[in-house]
């Protein structure tokens, strides 16, 4: 029987995984250099979908100390390590790391694994540091080298509705495919219903696409942050600049007259869709 790639990769999620990366990586805090290396590792901790960076111990240029850590029992640990727990909860044996930067102690800011392949490296939390790959400042979290963005201009008829109100209709959409996420349809603003939306103060950061701004329904509080757009997208997402995408998890999507089932997603803020 053939193996589906997504299932095969998901089957590795319980394991500690790593991949060396060649780019120069610099880590700083408020302008103070913390580490610099061309021998970093992308590390996927057990039950983590998003990787973290680990750098060689000798690349860390500030004082470093370690403390004992007892990983929780796997039977009681979360099935997936969410972003708020990434770099905080560790399921592989090791020790926590404390750094001293400009007289400020950053307690448990990193982790050293007992695993032989990673024992000489230190995994650091993303915040509060500034991360630079070569000359580019990175956003959100490390980019997974096994994830990608693909965009395609489409002439399919895309209709998006919310609770019976047609939000948009277009034959000029851009389809964005991102590893592990549902297909996203980005639509020109001219094809949105006139007067339906107001700008939201909400913003999110995507490591692959950039900083997203949001739109909310003007007359329905349940439609808060229902759509988003990228005013200044990163390189791979340039074709969707200023185009608007709606949560397919919260709206009704019809492609060429065929209704598309709503996907499940932990990111769609279903609380805003409550009756």
Residue 266 pLDDT > 80: no
Predicted local confidence at residue 180, as pLDDT: 86
Q: Are the CB atoms for 245 and 251 separated by under 8 Å?
A: no
- Across the range 184-188, mean pLDDT stands at 98
Q: Domain coordinates of the chain in residue numbers?
A: 5-137, 149-273
Residue 74 pLDDT > 60: yes
How confident is residue 264, by pLDDT bands cut at 50, 70 and 90? confident
> How many Å apart are CA 182 and CA 253, to the nearest integer?
12
Contacts of 59 (CB under 8 A, 6+ apart): 35, 36, 37, 39
Q: Are the CB atoms for 210 and 221 separated by under 8 Å?
A: no
Q: Are the CB atoms for 207 and 140 separated by under 8 Å?
A: yes
How confident is residue 10, by pLDDT bands cut at 50, 70 and 90? confident
Return the CATH class of domain 149-273: mainly beta
What DSSP letter does each residue of 67-132 carry, written as one string? Answer: EE--PPPTTTS-SS--TTTTTTS--SSEEEEEEEETTEEEEEEEEEE-STTTTTEEEE-STT-EEE
Residue 269 pLDDT > 90: no
Contacts of 101 (CB under 8 A, 6+ apart): 29, 32, 34, 62
Q: pLDDT tens, 133-149?
A: 999 999 999 999 999 99
How confident is residue 267, by pLDDT bands cut at 50, 70 and 90? low
How confident is residue 274, by pLDDT bands cut at 50, 70 and 90? very low
Contacts of 228 (CB under 8 A, 6+ apart): 204, 212, 213, 214, 215, 244, 245
- Across the range 86-92, mean pLDDT stands at 94
Predicted local confidence at residue 260, as pLDDT: 97
> How many Å apart are CA 196 and CA 275, to the nearest integer?
19
Predicted local confidence at residue 275, as pLDDT: 39
CATH architecture for segment(s) 5-137: Beta Complex (2.170)
> How many Å apart are CA 45 and CA 25, to the nearest integer?
20
> How many Å apart are CA 55 and CA 37, to the nearest integer?
7
- Total residues found in the chain within this entry: 275
| pTM (two decimals) | 0.88
Same fold for the domain at 5-137 and the one at 149-273? yes
Element (H, E) at 5: helix 5-10
- Across the range 107-133, mean pLDDT stands at 97
């Amino acid at each position: 029987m053939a193996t589906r790639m997504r299932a095969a990769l998901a089957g590795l999620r319980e394991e500690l995984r790593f991949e060396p990366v060649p780019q120069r990586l610099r880590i700083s805090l408020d302008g103070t250099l913390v580490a610099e290396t061309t021998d970093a590792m992308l590390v996927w901790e057990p039950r983590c979908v998003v990787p973290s960076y680990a750098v060689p111990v000798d690349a860390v240029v500030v004082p470093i100390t370690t403390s004992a850590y007892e990983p929780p029992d796997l039977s009681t640990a979360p099935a997936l390590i969410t972003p708020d727990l990434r770099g905080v909860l560790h399921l592989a044996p090791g020790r926590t790391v404390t750094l001293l930067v400009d007289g400020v102690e950053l307690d448990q800011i990193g982790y050293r694994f007992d695993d032989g392949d990673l024992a000489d490296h230190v995994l650091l939390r993303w915040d509060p540091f500034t991360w630079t790959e070569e000359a580019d400042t990175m956003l959100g979290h490390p980019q997974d080298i096994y994830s990608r963005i693909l965009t395609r201009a489409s002439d399919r008829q895309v209709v998006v509705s919310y609770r019976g109100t047609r939000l948009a209709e277009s034959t000029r959409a851009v389809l964005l495919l991102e590893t592990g996420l549902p297909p996203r349809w980005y639509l020109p603003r001219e094809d949105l219903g006139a007067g339906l939306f107001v700008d939201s103060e909400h913003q999110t950061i995507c490591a692959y696409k950039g900083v997203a701004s949001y739109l909310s329904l003007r007359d329905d509080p349940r439609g808060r942050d229902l759509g988003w757009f990228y005013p200044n997208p990163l390189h791979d997402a340039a074709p969707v600049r200023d185009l608007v995408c709606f949560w397919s998890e919260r709206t009704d999507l019809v492609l060429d007259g065929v209704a598309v089932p709503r996907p499940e997603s932990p990111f769609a803020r279903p609380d805003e869709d409550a009756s």
